Structure formats: C-alpha cells, structure tokens
Amino acid sequence: MATKHKLEYIWLDGTEPMQHIRCKTKIVEDFSGKLDDCPMWSFDGSSTNQAEGGSSDCLLKPVSICTDPGRKNGYVVLCEVLNADGTPHPTNARATIDDDDRDFWFGFEQEYFLWDPETNKPLGFPADGTDPAPQGPYYCSVGATNAYGREIVEEHLDLCLDAGLIVEGINGEVAPGQWEFQTFDKGAKEAGDQIWLGRYFLERVAEQYGIAIEYHCKPLKGDWNGSGMHANFSNSFLRESGKKEDYEKVCEAFRPYTKEHIDVYGHDNHLRLTGLHETQSIDEFSFGISDRGASIRIPIATVERGWKGWLEDRRPNSAADPYKVAARIVKTVKPASV
C-alpha cells in the first residue's frame, strides 16, 4: 500500500501592515521528502488580499521544505507567491533579495508576546487590570512568579529543532509573557525562511493552548521595552576584513538610507524607537562598539576577533518581514563592501 504524506504549503498573504501566514495541506503518495518533488500549487488570492475575484488564481512556488514533527508523515513546504503568469507577486519580498550566491549570513532575534485573548493582556498580567511588578525580574527568568508560558516556548523549541530549523537559542524577555527565539542561516533568503517557519510553528503550538502571538512592537503602554527582531548580519567582506575602518565604512553606508531602512523595519516603529529602552531614536542614526542604544551595534566579539565578524542592526521590530529587512541590508552593504 502506498504511503500517504501530508504536505503543508505555507505562504504570506497580502494583509497590511503585517502579512499573515496562510496554509493548506496537499496529500501525496510515496513522497521523497525533496523540495524538487514538491509540485507547484495555487490558491484563491481574492481571499488573501492578493487578487481580484474575477482573476483570483495565484501560484505557490515551493522554496524550502522541512519535516513536520507534529504530523504523521508530514512536511512543511514554504512557498513564494507568484502571479498567474509566473512572475513574483507584489507581496513576494523574498524574490527581491539580491543574494543568490548566499554570501550574506543573517541571525535574527525574534521577540514576541504570548497573548491571552480572554484578558487581552500578555500571560502573567493580572486579570483584574492591575499592573504587574515593573520590568526587571522577568528577563532570562525562572519561577512561577516571573516566567509565564514556558510550556509553549519549550514545545515550540523542540518542534523547530525536530523539524531541522537552525534555532540558536531562546530566552525570556523583559516583560511578563514576552519571549525570544533566535535563528540563523547562510544566505539572506534562507535566513528569512528560518524566521517565517519558526513563526509558523510558534503560531501552531500556541493555538493548541488558546494563546495568540502578539508581534506588535509596542503592545503595552508605559515603562516597558518594545519587541524587536534584531538583525545580525555579515558577508565575506566583514568576516575577513580585519580592519576597523572597513567596519566604520559599512556602518556609515547606512546613514544616508535611514528612512529607506525604517520604511521596511516594521510598522509603528516610532512607538519603539524612542531613544529609551535600549533603542536609538527613529530619526537619528548611530553606531558603536557594544552599544545597545545605537542604531547599529558592533559586537565586542567582532572586535576581539580582530575586526572579523558581524554587525547588528537593532532597529527592525518584531513585526518586520525578515525578507524585506535582509533585502534592504544587502542593498546597502554590497556597494560598501569593496
């Protein structure tokens, strides 16, 4: 008897200001597990804000695959969205990344809140409307009065690792119910895939607990840090440089394009980039060694390695599209890498 396999096709819709993940399952027989054997598929773009009803077919082009540990004989197939004529859809930011040689390496730090739909507050916030204790004890915390939702976070981590994603760590963040996971890959497109696949698995795990994922960069008013998606990046120029002046040249290349970067670094970022809470002001640009209040931080590890390493752009927020972030960073850094 032929084995039935479940291929979960996932893609990004046309929702603004943050695209949502959509998914549907294709059943195939005796699947090889290889990306090349995933057929093109289609969907109704009029139901995802990506087409008109009179001409609604959009195509799904498989670009990445991983096993799905949560389903028997399951795989997750990440797709780019194409127009009916095979050209990239306007919502397809992955197709805009100029890094086919995979020279750029990215590590993203995805922060988020575990959000209780019943109280409309993060996990750990009192249901009676009072405020919890100020931020301080929650960061990298342990214990029932400091860490909330760990069972979701741990299950998500195991699912990602079992699927083969390159997750490099997790930690509790500065507010109750706020967490972070970090991913990495060699290649700007591939690194973006890691975040979107990680977000998909996170949504699916939290769904089982009746908990939502809040990606907004500043969902809480008051003296709370916002949520970011810091982008750590390098290319062969930065990894092999050995010169402080090369790093300063690359950092300075960002200054004339401050607006262009902010435009794709996530909506409502003005609420987060205030110059407080370990951020630089949204309308200013700065860089510095080990400076978490700068736009771009030069990690101390890069300096200690003899100026051979990476940089961290701290401005992308938690709701940013990693494809758009990577595309803009690549566009800025490439001309300065000479």
pLDDT digits (tens, 9 = 90+) for 16-33: 999 999 999 999 999 999
Pairwise CA distance, residues 45 & 165, whole Å: 29
Nearest Cα residue to 228 out of 158, 277, 190, 192: 277
Q: What is the CATH number of domain 105-336?
A: 3.30.590.10
What pLDDT is recorded for position 278? 87
Q: Is the dihedral of CA 301, 306, 311, 314 positive or negative?
A: positive
CATH superfamily of 4-92: Glutamine synthetase, N-terminal domain (3.10.20.70)
Pairwise CA distance, residues 158 & 67, whole Å: 13
Residue with tokens 């507010």: 175
Its pTM stands at 0.97
Nearest Cα residue to 172 out of 132, 113, 218, 130: 113
Indicate left, alpha or beta for 169 from its phi (over 0: left) and psi (-120 to 50: alpha). left
Helix, coil or strand: residue 44: strand
Q: Where are the domains of the chain?
A: 4-92, 105-336
Pairwise CA distance, residues 232 & 299, whole Å: 10
What pLDDT is recorded for position 128? 87
Question: CA angle 29-47-120, nearest 5°?
Answer: 100
What pLDDT is recorded for position 165? 98
Q: Is the dihedral of CA 161, 267, 91, 207 positive or negative?
A: positive
pLDDT < 50 positions in the chain? none
Pairwise CA distance, residues 318 & 219, whole Å: 11
**Per-residue pLDDT reduced to its tens digit, 248-277:** 999 999 999 999 999 999 999 999 999 988
Q: Is the dihedral of CA 192, 195, 196, 198 positive or negative?
A: positive
